[in-house]
Amino acid sequence: MQAGYSAWMSDYPTIRLLPKAEARAIRHGFPWVYANELVMDRRTRGLTPGSFAILEDAERQPMGLVTVNPASRIAARMLDRDPEAVIDGAWLRAKLSRALSYRDALYDAPFYRLIHAEADGLPGCIIDRFGDVAVLQPNAAWADAMADEIAAALVELAGVGTVILNGTGRTRTQEGLTEETRLLQGAAPEGPIPVPMNGATYMADVMGGQKTGLFFDQRPNHAFAARLAPGGRVLDVFSHVGGFALAALAGGAASALAVDGSAPALALAEQGAESGGMADRFATRRGDAFDTLAALEAEGERFDLVVCDPPAFAPSKQALDAGLRAYERIARLAAPLVKEGGFLTLCSCSHAADLTQFRAACTRGIGKAGRAGAIIRTGFAGPDHPVLPQLAESGYLKTLTYRL
């Protein structure tokens, strides 16, 4: 092993941990190395973002093959624990094939998250599949540099005809990457793609929508909420393209009101309701979520199920306190709208706010609204969003359902 490693060193440069760095965590599966944990000499700082290197501990023992970005706070990401691995088309196909076989075992139709970054062994790389179309989010420099190779492997293995690069979002900025959306393979869809899920039809704008066009992560939570809604009135706040509302209508809800600040998202929600034969039971209301919740209370509205699924209020540790206050405020404004014996579902996609902190903020808000209730379910992302146990960020989604 050591002899082979020595021979390989001529092909990849080496980077080394500082003596103070937590080598044990990396050996035990933590996939990131921060810039302040590396020997940042001139040679390391000069490495091209997205290039590959062999990571050594402070005693110069090899730990694995990493991708390097000296311009990022996450200066190295583990690609392969074998320092002699070769990151090429064959390596990519092996990773994709493993992920594909797992998703195909989970779902009858090809609509799912195919690659969930570090948890699927492709750090910083997200791929969502919409039938014949795949949307790639390369949020790390190496994946951006290898986007064409990833697209070719998707066409070969998954049989998709179109691959779209969606290079938008805060994470790319942190990696020093520009924002862009472009075709990698095939032709652009002529309109939104209908996605069947939980008995409803969602319309995904894969070229211009938010993130990849649809959030697959809430699938099991949509399904549970739908079980609470037969015959009832549903309020879905921060609804995007109709997430909880359309699932509830498919489950037999009498009516659903979707609230969002985005007119294009609400238009897609309306198309989904029309496609599913639910338009007569579906309504939308555009506006700020906080203001709309307060207005609905003033109007005396009450619902059997209220769902609030906001964007990440606490996307970083620096934003944690403000984010928790925002979650508390949402709960305080939403709770009065729930009928006696009804249900309130509150969601967080903030990895910086753990489940305990999120639950405490929500419960405080409900209490400040003069309501009380028991938690009947705690939900997480679906199984196409696996969690790497060593990386809390991969398990970002949390939902709480209260009976008030």
Overall average pLDDT of the 301-306 stretch? 98
Q: Which helix (H) or strand (E) holds 57?
A: none
Active site residue 349: yes
pLDDT tens sequence across 64-99 = 999 999 999 999 999 999 999 999 999 999 999 999
In whole angstroms, give the CA distance from residue 244 to residue 237: 9
Label residue 286 by pLDDT band (50, 70, 90): very high
Residue 179 makes CB contacts below 8 A (sequence gap 6+) with 167, 168, 169, 172, 173
pLDDT tens sequence across 244-269 = 999 999 999 999 999 999 999 999 99
Are the C-beta atoms of residues 366 and 373 closer than 8 Å to each other?
yes
CA distances from 213 to 136, 208, 259, 292, 373 (A): 11, 7, 18, 24, 34
Q: What is the pLDDT of residue 2?
A: 40
Is the pLDDT at 48 greater than 50? The verdict is yes
In whole angstroms, give the CA distance from residue 267 to residue 216: 19
Overall average pLDDT of the 197-212 stretch? 92
pLDDT tens sequence across 329-364 = 999 999 999 999 999 999 999 999 999 999 999 999
pLDDT tens sequence across 132-156 = 999 999 999 999 999 999 999 999 9
**Catalytic residue among 125, 308, 347, 349, which?**
349
Are the C-beta atoms of residues 193 and 207 closer than 8 Å to each other?
no
Is the pLDDT at 23 greater than 90? The verdict is no
Residue 289 makes CB contacts below 8 A (sequence gap 6+) with 237, 238, 259, 260, 261, 308, 310, 330
Q: What is the pLDDT of residue 306?
A: 98
Domains, the chain, with CATH or none? 2-80 (2.30.130.10), 89-185 (3.30.750.80), 193-403 (3.40.50.150)
The token pair that represents 44 in the structure block: 């390391």
Is the pLDDT at 42 greater than 80? The verdict is yes
Are the C-beta atoms of residues 19 and 58 closer than 8 Å to each other?
yes
Q: How far is CA 341 from the centre of its chain?
A: 32
Q: What is the pLDDT of residue 397?
A: 97
Is the pLDDT at 35 greater than 60? The verdict is yes
